[in-house]
Amino acid sequence: MPIVQISRIQHRRGKRTDLPQLAAGELGWVIDEQRLFIGNGTVSDGAPAVGNTEIVTAGSSAFSSALSHTYKGYLGDSTPITTGASGDVTRTLQQVLDDHVSVKSFGAVGDDSTNDTAAIQRALDEIYSDTDQDDTRARRVLFFPAGIYRINASITIPPYAHLVGEGPDKTVIRNSGNNAVAVTEDDDGQVYGSIGNSGATTPTQIQICNITFRNTVAYGGVSVDNATKVYFNNCKFQGSYASGGADNSNSKGVTVRSTTALPCSQIIFNQCQFTKFARLVDLSYDVTNVRFTDCDFNTAYYGAMLGEIMDGSTDGLSIGPRDIKFNSNSWSTIGQQAIYVKQSSNTTGTGTRNVISSGNWYASTVGNNFEGIGSLNEVPIIQYDNDECSSVMDFFERSDLRRSDGSSHMNPAPELQGIGIQDKAIKSITLTDATTEATINEYPALAGKGLRIKYKIVRGTLDRTGEMVISASTNGVSYDDTFTESGSDIGVELTAVLDDKDSTSGSETVVLRYTTTDTSGTPGDATLDYQTTIIA
């Protein structure tokens, strides 16, 4: 810009109402409003318009507007709304921004390089554990923007923490230290062994969603210690276990630790993923009301190990896990049992109770020691070594694949073994007319178990409703078929036999069979709908 004139700086000062049209470059200071203006000059000189332009200062209306906020609604200025009792409520920009807090405001970086341990812990402690934690206004949602937050020690999660990320494999807390990724603490920062001392608030009302907890060494994901009301939603727990590896009791996706005075309860996992730990879930301590719903469990030695070290006397291990529910989950690539309720010899009659598997999908890659269908090392998919446990409407792909093969095959391990009851889903098959003998279903390794089969047969206008009770032992099979028919004899006979499906000695498979009379096409085939209950 060329210098066209050098002159003494001109300025005016006075009240806003007295501000005149300023000359080009002339300053006008409005004393009563603390605002500064400069004259535009003429259009012929190149100004876009004749007038005065305000220079932004702390007193400028534009500056004040930029640093304040009034809620406009989703339609903005097009449909004005009133936010206060007698006019709009205006808040400062600082107030609005403080409605949301990011872990990055405390120095976390999330670049998969910077050590974010101290920054994350500082955020957790300042928001939830420091002197103002008793004021509910301090308990804000802590946001973790997408990124990989590297840590080398367990982060400790206080009461009332509410942690939100942007989704599994988007927001990742990655630990490379020889410890769990996260554990719970009380509001004085005390961890397991000291939680609750000196009247501290124990971990409670904790919500965590959309975060991956990843451990790059053979240690745990999250340990829920002396906590109640802990909720995980859409989280991922990922370890370093490789398919085919050995068991490692340190490698636990999720575990709990309790004391007799402070047992854990109400621990809920919804739409979570558990992968690459030797034990995806390990619960031995006293805990009640644990729920896993719509979760995915894959790549592990054990799926869920329950009650392994419960001994009936040690503090926190006196009664073991109780009221544990697995609902509508999927399980795959698990070498041993998907759910294993273990019972120590010195705790007979006590221990883990009320474990329910309901509506789960167990893939063919579960319970075969990573060796596939036909493995000599197959184990039960579910094993209950204590009572008051059950399987309800679960689907076991391994057994279905076996039965679909009409050739000779290995006698498979049972779906459910131990002390428990298994209610299988209803099935429907066609009983072909004029059949001397054909298989309806096979029940593997059922020696010493009982079956109850409720059924209905429809053949033309005839029908039968009945219940068949089968008892199997090494000496053979006995059964009782009790039924009621409408009208004439339906011409169907159900039987049960003990059969050998492999090269080993002994017959270990119960085979349910049928025979139909020859009706020469009328009424012809029959339809059998049946549901099986197995008392393991």
- Which domains does the chain carry? 11-68 (no CATH), 101-423 (2.160.20.10), 427-535 (2.60.40)
> Distance between the two ends of the chain, CA-based, in angstroms?
94
Give, for 173, the enclosing helix (H) or strand (E): strand 171-175
Distances (CA, A) of 326 to 24, 231, 310, 311, 422: 78, 15, 20, 24, 14
Query: Which residue type occupies 196?
Result: G
Are the C-beta atoms of 202 and 159 separated by less than 8 Å?
Answer: yes
Are the C-beta atoms of 136 and 100 separated by less than 8 Å?
Answer: no
What is the largest distance, in Å, between two alpha-carbon atoms of the chain? 122
Q: Is 166 helix (H, G, I), strand (E, B) or coil?
A: coil
Q: Give 127's DSSP letter.
A: I
Tell me: the pLDDT tens digits for 402-435? Answer: 654 444 455 668 899 888 899 999 999 999 999 9
Strands 526-535 and 421-423: antiparallel
State what percent of residues in the chain have pLDDT above 70: 91
Q: Distance of alpha carbon 106 from its chain centroid, rounded? A: 28
Q: What gap in Å lies between CA 297 and CA 164, rounded to an integer?
A: 22
Are the C-beta atoms of 28 and 54 separated by less than 8 Å?
Answer: no
Tell me: the pLDDT tens digits for 332-365? Answer: 999 999 999 998 655 555 789 899 999 999 999 9
Residue 184, number of CB atoms within 10 A of its CB = 26
Give, for 399, the enclosing helix (H) or strand (E): helix 397-403
Q: What gap in Å lies between CA 373 and CA 366, rounded to an integer?
A: 10
149 closest CA partner among 179, 113, 177: 113
Tell me: the pLDDT tens digits for 35-66? Answer: 899 999 888 888 888 999 988 877 676 666 66
Tell me: the pLDDT tens digits for 79-126? Answer: 888 889 988 898 888 888 888 999 999 999 999 999 999 999 999 999
Distances (CA, A) of 480 to 94, 343, 509: 78, 34, 18
Could you tell me the two tokens for 103?
Answer: 């872990």
